[in-house]
């Protein structure tokens, strides 16, 4: 008895599993990485695709993720399709960039997505969950001969070196601020190394706040970092600011690139008012104590669905204009449609079709529908026998259940009406 119950439960479990598989068979995922091995800081693009043989009745619920020892950023999501064995599958493609910041191997985790799709042959969306597989990527350390603190991986680096004042009329006690701006493609600002400022004789250095920003849109993916240093010139004479060399690795070219900010020579003129020098140093030291070591991310520009506020304003105005136009057009269209429907429900054609639908019912219903229909016609006698004698092939009292008989009789009636009108006009339409 126990064995029989056990077999029965196994049978039910098998049926349940089979039906569950059939319900999910039309839904599947794909995961791929653009590479299996990267250097520290080099991005890995992970692409996830969710397919269904029916359609998605609502958007795929996206999610931000965390990857151990790496920065992960969702890049894009778009609708796609894929032909499989002669059938087109609808899909959604989601792209992530993952940036390892240590030489430990990383694993992009398995993700669970919530979707809504109809069953095969159905039309109502059913909530489901699909899982993706995890992806492992090997991470190589910074190559020998390169300082890890200055390592940067990017296909392109833009550099700007600016000062807040002229370097030609510098006096003792002057404070000048130097800013070095860098824009690196396909990375995040956390991986852009800070500028290494050299100590300079007879000059005091006071770091300013570092400004950073990440830009991630369908059109562009880059990071920005601006390092700033204030120089207080304390003695007259020539001051030499050594050159600064910036290095980055281009992964696609497998090549190191360098950009050198040239050495600067500044002649510092004497200043008779040196009593203010100590006051300036104290003020800069106080400001430096408050800001040293802090980095402030620049306020990201306003963005909504990838649009700037100007683009959003234009779209909103256009949307309001369309809505107002529809508010005027829709009532007119509804009125016209309503009039047509009212006219149709009072027309001969409507009552004729009501009559055709009634010929499979009882004799009483057929007669009621017949006389309601012929009441719309122009007849000498509104009787069944007269109508069948004049326009039909048989004259029996009963109503025939043959659709084609009544369609042909109706056609004969309208032909007779055309001939009658033509004769009244004095000629016969051939």
In the numeric block, the tokens 């833009």 are attached to 158
User: Would you say residue 60 has pLDDT above 50?
Assistant: yes
pTM over 0.75: no
- 261: nearest Cα among 162, 355, 360, 190: 162
For the residues 56-61, what does the mean pLDDT come to? Answer: 80
Q: Which two tokens stand for residue 50?
A: 């969710």
User: Would you say residue 49 has pLDDT above 80?
Assistant: yes
pLDDT level of residue 430 (50, 70, 90 thresholds): very low
pLDDT level of residue 2 (50, 70, 90 thresholds): very low
Q: What is the pLDDT of residue 322?
A: 85
- pLDDT tens for residues 292-336? 544 444 455 555 555 676 777 877 888 888 888 888 888 888 888
- pLDDT tens for residues 140-153? 999 887 888 889 99
pLDDT level of residue 281 (50, 70, 90 thresholds): low
Q: What is the pLDDT of residue 155?
A: 94
User: Would you say residue 165 has pLDDT above 60?
Assistant: yes
The Cα diameter of the chain in Å comes to 132
| Rounded Cα gap, residues 173 and 22, in angstroms | 81
Q: What is the pLDDT of residue 182?
A: 96
Name the β-bridge partners of 176: 231
Q: What is the pLDDT of residue 23?
A: 41
Q: Of 11 and 398, which is predicted with more confidence? A: 398
In contact, 185 and 155? CB cutoff 8 Å: yes
Q: What is the pLDDT of residue 373?
A: 81
In contact, 236 and 268? CB cutoff 8 Å: yes
- 388: nearest Cα among 357, 409, 415: 409
**Terminal CA-CA length for the chain:** 90
At residue 346, what are phi and psi to the nearest 5 degrees?
Answer: -110, 10
- pLDDT tens for residues 111-150? 988 888 888 777 788 888 888 999 999 999 998 878 888 8
Q: Of 107 and 387, which is predicted with more confidence? A: 107
Q: Which two tokens stand for residue 104?
A: 């430990």
In contact, 420 and 428? CB cutoff 8 Å: no
pLDDT level of residue 376 (50, 70, 90 thresholds): confident
Q: How many CB atoms lie within 10 A of CB 192?
A: 23
User: Would you say residue 8 has pLDDT above 60?
Assistant: no
pLDDT level of residue 179 (50, 70, 90 thresholds): very high
Of all residues in the chain, the percent with pLDDT exceeding 70 is 81
pLDDT level of residue 159 (50, 70, 90 thresholds): very high
- pLDDT tens for residues 197-235? 998 998 988 898 999 999 987 777 899 999 999 998 888
Which of the residue ranges 27-36, 81-90, 397-406 would you say has the lowest mean pLDDT? 397-406
pLDDT level of residue 427 (50, 70, 90 thresholds): very low
In contact, 178 and 162? CB cutoff 8 Å: yes
Helix (H, G, I), strand (E, B) or coil at 167: coil
User: Would you say residue 371 has pLDDT above 90?
Assistant: no
HSE toward the beta carbon, residue 100, CA cutoff 13 A: 21
Q: What is the pLDDT of residue 288?
A: 62
| Rounded Cα gap, residues 180 and 161, in angstroms | 5
Of all residues in the chain, the percent with pLDDT exceeding 90 is 30
Pick the most confident of 161-170, 176-185, 403-412: 176-185
Radius of gyration of the chain (CA): 41
Long-range CB contacts for residues 404-413, cutoff 8 Å, separation at least 24: 406/352, 406/355, 406/356, 406/359, 410/352, 413/377, 413/387
Q: How many CB atoms lie within 10 A of CB 132?
A: 19
Q: What is the pLDDT of residue 45?
A: 92
Q: What is the pLDDT of residue 13?
A: 43
Name the β-bridge partners of 384: none
User: Would you say residue 259 has pLDDT above 90?
Assistant: yes
């Amino acid at each position: 008895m126990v064995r029989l119950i056990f077999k029965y439960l196994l049978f039910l479990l098998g049926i349940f599993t089979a039906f569950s598989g059939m319900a999910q068979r039309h839904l599947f995922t794909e995961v791929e990485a653009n590479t299996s091995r990267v250097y520290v800081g080099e991005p890995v693009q992970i692409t996830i695709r969710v397919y269904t043989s029916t359609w998605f009745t609502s958007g795929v619920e996206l999610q931000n993720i965390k990857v151990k020892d790496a920065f992960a950023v969702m890049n894009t999501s778009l609708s796609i399709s894929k032909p499989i064995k002669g059938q087109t599958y609808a899909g959604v493609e989601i792209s992530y960039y993952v940036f390892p910041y240590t030489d430990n191997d990383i694993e992009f985790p398995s993700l669970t997505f919530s979707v809504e799709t109809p069953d095969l042959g159905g039309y109502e969306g059913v909530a489901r969950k699909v899982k993706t597989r995890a992806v492992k990527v090997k991470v190589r350390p910074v190559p020998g001969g390169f300082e890890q603190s200055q390592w940067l991986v990017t296909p392109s680096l833009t550099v700007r070196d600016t000062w807040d004042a002229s370097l030609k009329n510098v006096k003792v006690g002057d404070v000048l601020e130097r800013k070095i701006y860098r824009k690196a493609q396909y990375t995040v600002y956390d991986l852009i190394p800070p500028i290494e400022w050299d100590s300079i004789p007879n000059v005091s250095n006071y770091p300013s706040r570092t400004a950073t920003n990440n830009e991630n849109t369908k059109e562009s993916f880059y990071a920005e970092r601006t390092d700033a240093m204030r120089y207080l010139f304390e003695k007259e004479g020539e001051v030499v600011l050594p050159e600064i060399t910036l290095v980055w690795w281009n992964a696609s070219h497998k090549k190191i690139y360098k950009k050198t900010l040239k050495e600067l020579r500044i002649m510092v003129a004497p200043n008779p008012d040196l009593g203010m020098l100590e006051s300036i140093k104290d003020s800069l030291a106080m400001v430096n104590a408050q800001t040293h070591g802090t980095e402030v991310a620049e306020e990201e520009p306003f963005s909504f669905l990838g649009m700037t506020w100007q683009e959003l304003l234009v779209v909103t105005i256009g949307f309001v204009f369309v809505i107002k136009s529809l508010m005027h057009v829709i009532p007119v269209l509804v009125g016209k449609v309503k009039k047509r429907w009212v006219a149709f429900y009072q027309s001969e054609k409507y009552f004729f079709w009501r009559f055709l639908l009634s010929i499979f019912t009882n004799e009483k219903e057929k007669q009621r529908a017949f006389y309601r229909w012929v009441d719309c016609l122009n007849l000498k006698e509104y009787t069944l026998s007269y109508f069948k004698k004049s326009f039909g092939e048989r004259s029996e009292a009963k109503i025939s259940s043959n659709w084609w008989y009544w369609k042909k009789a109706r056609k004969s009636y309208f032909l007779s009406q055309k001939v009658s009108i033509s004769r009244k006009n004095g000629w016969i339409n051939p």
